[in-house]
Amino acid sequence: MTVFAAESRARTFDYRAGDVGYVPMSMSHFIENTGDEPLCFLELFKSNRFMDVSLAQWMALTPPELVAAHLNIDRAVVEKLRKDKQAVV
């Protein structure tokens, strides 16, 4: 899991079965399964309201020249991002 905030601040953690992680409020995160088996991930929120923001979708819907310039990545990479939100199942 990588937890990230503004100004290029990020930290990545490698978790194993049974581990517990914490994401501070107002920080973003993403999960990547780096193993060979299916990942079961439980995410809990201390809130009665859930909001999900897809970073990939947000970048795909932003003018590609802006995303490429600000993230210093090739515009072709940005143009491959999907504009529809991918459900997390």
Instruction: Return the half-sphere exposure (C-beta side, CA atoms, 13 A cut-off) of residue 10.
Output: 8
Q: Is residue 7 annotated as a catalytic residue, yes or no? A: no
In three-state secondary structure terms, 2 is strand
One of 7, 32, 37, 43 is an active-site residue; which one?
43
How far apart are alpha carbons 51 and 61 in whole angstroms? 18
- Catalytic residue ranges: 43
